[in-house]
Chain A
Amino acid sequence: MMNTPETIAYLTIQGLATGSLYGMIALGVVMIYKTNDVLNFAHGNMGLFSTFLIYIMMTKYTAPISAHLYDWARCIDILGGLDANTFSITAFTLIAVFTALFAFFFGVILEVIFLRPAREPSHLGLIVITIGLWRILDGAIIGLFGTEVYAMPPPLSGFKAFKLGVIPVDQLDLIILSITGCIIVVLYLFFRFTRLGIAMRATFQNREAAGLMGIGTRTIFAVTWGISSVLAATAGILTATKLNLDNTVILFPFLKAFSAAVLGGLGSLPGVIIGGWMLGVTENLFGSYVSMGYKTPFAFIVIIVVLIIRPEGLLSRRIKRGV
């Protein structure tokens, strides 16, 4: 391993990209934690389910959909200079939009069916519900899609490395970073300026008070699960693009993201992204310069040590809880 500034920059960008994936998953975990007061252990598999869906649709329907679009465009004579390749991109976009919609309603349905019926839930009880959900989704994924390893089809494959000035970068890492950037901007605007976003922030802060102010907190719960599920699906798809798709690909990224969320303190949403980046970069530098094998144990040791020193997480304010 060369110890030049270029390599360090390369590793940092790589770490930031991985960290963005952690951050994306963790963001959903924290949003759910803020509404339902529970760590959602099923989060990784929620995303993985949508990832499998998009994989199946891309392998089966990309060609037919793009062929249809092509015919249709030729019929109404708007073909112009477009070729078949453009239409497969369009087909992919349609499939991606459909997957996002599916992921949203998947999250909503899970909340309504599994979390909502729990009356007077205890903290442990809610955790156990999400653990049960984790098992169900795990079983469902193995039952429906098996345990084989799949490579994502194009356009989610065949990414190249190139040089940005003197720094070598992977195309995929840049794509991940830009998607993360978009998500951050969109979520910021959503939470800052829309009625629903403001209502959600109010619910995050205090459920009862928000309810008394006339906010339909049940809807907010469902929407939160929907958005988290979309985030998890995005992270799942990008992870599968990076590492190939199988039924366990999300496990360690999810556990690390989960821990990054707790590391950030389950408090502020921007803190979660920063926590994810910190974990991703530290882990990547450690993996490259110290020991590749000990990368994962190292990440968890860091998390344990941080939590021992600051039991409420790194970035959250210390809150004295009453009895």
Chain B
Amino acid sequence: MLEHTAPPRKATLIPPLDTRHQVETPEGIDLPLRPAGLPVRAVAFTIDLGLRGLICGVLFIVLAFLGKLGMGLGSLLLFVVSWWYMVLFEVLRQGRSPGKQWMGLRVVHEDGTPVGWSASLLRNLLRFVDLMPFGYLLGAISCLQHPTFKRLGDIAAGTLVIHSERPLVRPTLPEAAPRRSPIALTLSEQRALLGFAERQGELSPARVNELAALLAQPLHLSAPHAVAELNGIARGLLGPT
């Protein structure tokens, strides 16, 4: 019965409440990626479509002056813009076409690494099927029912469209004298208390009091000063007591 007591080789992760997608790196770190849903991707695609139309329009006007040579170049250009625009931008600009960059999206492999030539080519060639039978219907259905919002091209190419990371701003903790917690806290409780202190600026005073009141009794705090005391505990968790 030894094998039952051995720890499982790959511990199962608790699925997050939101749509984050956990990727385990070779270093044993779980990286959360935030897959992008249908509406924001649709907007990004529309921007790209408009931009492509603009590029073609401007260059066709220029090429019209070149006569026959211009017509040949024009067909080549149409080919490049319609089939290669996305691929070139995605591979050369860290997974971001202009539309995606505008909307704060990027394309990555499922393991979180930047998208490469073959995956990008695949997902953009298979766009043809996602467009069928009209107006991205198959792609939209696939995107809506998939846990990480993949269209068919993404499933086949093994790629993921995620929200790019935004730079974080250090939150200011409310002033309070650091103190010890009256009872021993578990890790998640510690993080919850720290989260309470860090996010206090974003909450209304009434909500802050309401949340603090919930904790007053289990933590043996005096109800009227619960907020200040919780902040003190959070400060105590951060720095010296």
The judgment on whether A and B are partners is no
Q: Which residues of B contact A (CB under 8 A)?
A: none
Q: Which residues of A contact B (CB under 8 A)?
A: none
